[in-house]
Amino acid sequence: MGKINNESSTDRFKRLATLRTNAVLNRLRVLGNCSNRQVYDYTKEDIDKIFAAIDQAVKESKSKFHFPKQQNFKL
């Protein structure tokens, strides 16, 4: 992908990563609203299941940044 409107790949990454990170953080805050026991009924197992799914998604996303993509085999 080339530059769009003279935006470097670094600037594009920073712009999009900031927007997307803030969106994720906002949705986590909204999820936290479900913790109100006066309004919602849930079990420890429900909470464990929710956060296990979130933890797994975070691990998968993070691993994409830390491990290089597979390269073709060469002799």
Q: In the predicted model, is pLDDT for residue 37 greater than 90?
A: yes
Phi, psi (rounded to 5 degrees) for 64: -65, -25
Predicted TM-score of the model (pTM): 0.76
Determine the pLDDT at residue 71.
75
By the 8 A CB rule, do 34 and 42 touch?
yes
Structure tokens at 70: 């597979």
Cα–Cα–Cα angle for 13, 70, 9, rounded to 5 degrees: 15
Determine the pLDDT at residue 68.
67
Tell me the residue type at 26.
N
